[in-house]
Amino acid sequence: MEVAALVSGGVDSSVAVHLLKEAGYEPVIFYIHIGMEGMSDGGCPSEEDVEISSYIARRYGCRFETVSLHKEYWEKVVGYTIDAVCKGLTPNPDVLCNRYIKFGCFNERWGKDFAYIATGHYATTTIYDSLTWLSTAKDPVKDQTDFLAQITLPQLSKLLFPVGNLLKSEVRALATSHKLPSAQRPDSQGICFLGKINYNQFIERYLGTKQGDIVEKETGKRLGKHNGYWFHTIGQRKGLGLSGGPWFVVQKDVSNNILYVSNGYDLDAQYNNTFLLQNFHFITANPWIDMTFPLYITFKIRHTPDFTIGRLSRQGDYYRIDSAERLQGIAPGQYGVVYDSSCRLCIGSGMIVPTTEKERTFEGMKTEKYENKKKSFLANPLPMDL
């Protein structure tokens, strides 16, 4: 049976191809071109990635294709990122990339001709009540179900995760024993479309700079200046340029371009037990239809091997999570990812929003300057002058 294998040149997707061949599949290898081609020395994608991917194809006798989703990536992922940052949010582009690009646009154009799509993601699937559920990987440190928590059931039903039942050390050992060129390649870091391009430099291109005050949350004292709230995120510690810390960003006033910080002595300013999720997306099905709230669940609010226990309830159009632990740096715009009580099945996710109606109203930089930059951005999705 033919399988479309998405290969990036990294060790995980390379070993995924090896395992597919061992299992008797005949994968067709696809390399997806997305992002800022030629703008960084080692970014993603790169010539070395393509070279290794094509070598893997030749090594295992697989057909190899490179496909381009530049336009779609910039419209659906990068444009979303710029808009979210402008509104004072902390976006997670990788979550949207998986849903709309790798398993969305790719499947609509090429994957539709295959029974399965295989990737090097660290995740597994579980059949429960005759339905396919996204489930966690063997390696808790490398588990990537949080990045997959917005995919749909039709997408999930086509996915194969060959390395999901292996530890990262086992994946590297397999690559080494079979002399794969990616065996010792370092794991990719950060947002794929940026590569090694400075994140603040990228954001500045579209939102510019505008000085604002840094204010101590507890006292209202002005401590310094910043160049725009859009360069900062809730929970941030480094890059504030303040002495006498550590200082943490605890709130952003997007209307007045003010950063509120705390030095760690007032825990209430930094930590919270409660947050809301909007537009909650169930990957497979809603398992709570016949259940009485609140429910005990586990969840993540950032990419980490650790789960947190919490209670889930409904609050109007939102789902509310009350955490058993005080959480530092709950960042609106990130995704709260919900799992079952055993930390096994990934139920779905929703975007974290502030807890008051006033804070939920994001006007952001709805200025003529911003709108002009946004039009320029959409008209020229591959800037080459950074």
Catalytic residue among 97, 105, 343, 346: 97
CA 230 from chain centre, in angstroms, equals 18
According to DSSP, the residues that pair with 260 across neighbouring strands are 215, 251
Q: Around Cβ 52, how many Cβ atoms within 10 Å? A: 23
Asked whether the bond before 246 is cis by omega within 30 degrees of 0, the reply is yes
The SS3 call for residue 329 is coil
The SS3 call for residue 200 is helix
CA 129 from chain centre, in angstroms, equals 29
φ, ψ at 253 (rounded to 5°) = -100, 100
pLDDT for the residue 125: 98
pLDDT for the residue 43: 45
- Non-local CB neighbours of 214 within 8 Å, separated by 6+ positions: 222, 223, 224, 225, 226, 240, 242, 258, 259, 261
C-alpha distance from residue 6 to each of 20, 29, 33, 133 (Å):
12, 6, 11, 21
Q: Which two three-digit tokens encode residue 324?
A: 């058993």
Catalytic residue among 105, 192, 343, 346: 192
pLDDT for the residue 384: 28
Amino acid found at 281: H
- Angle at alpha carbon of residue 23, lines to 17 and 27, rounded to 5°: 40
Residue segments in the chain with a per-residue pLDDT below the cut of 70: 1, 35-45, 188-198, 264-270, 355-386
| Prediction pTM value | 0.85
Handedness of CA 231, 235, 238, 240 (dihedral sign): positive
pLDDT for the residue 45: 46
CA 278 from chain centre, in angstroms, equals 17
C-alpha–C-alpha distance, residues 148 and 303, integer Å: 11
- The pLDDT tens digits for 286-340 are 998 888 888 999 999 999 999 999 999 998 899 999 999 888 888 899 999 999 9
pLDDT for the residue 99: 95
Establish whether 97 is a catalytic residue.
yes
Contact assessment for residue 27 and residue 7, using Cβ atoms and an 8 Å cutoff: no
Q: Around Cβ 127, how many Cβ atoms within 10 Å? A: 9
Radius of gyration of the chain (CA): 22
C-alpha–C-alpha distance, residues 100 and 151, integer Å: 8
pLDDT for the residue 39: 43
Contact assessment for residue 359 and residue 342, using Cβ atoms and an 8 Å cutoff: no
What burial letters (b/e) apply to 251-276, b meaning 16+ CB within 10 Å?
bbebeebbbbbbbeeeeebbbbeebb
C-alpha–C-alpha distance, residues 347 and 135, integer Å: 9
Q: Which two three-digit tokens encode residue 166?
A: 């292996």
- Non-local CB neighbours of 386 within 8 Å, separated by 6+ positions: 39, 197, 201, 202, 205
Domains, the chain = 2-177 (3.40.50.620), 209-259 (no CATH), 268-360 (2.40.30.10)
- The pLDDT tens digits for 341-353 are 999 999 999 999 8
Q: Which two three-digit tokens encode residue 9?
A: 């040149």
According to DSSP, the residues that pair with 262 across neighbouring strands are 248
Write the DSSP assignment of 141-197 as a string of letters.
Answer: TT--GGGGTT--HHHHHTEE-TTTTS-HHHHHHHHHHTT-TTTTPPPP-S-TTTTTS
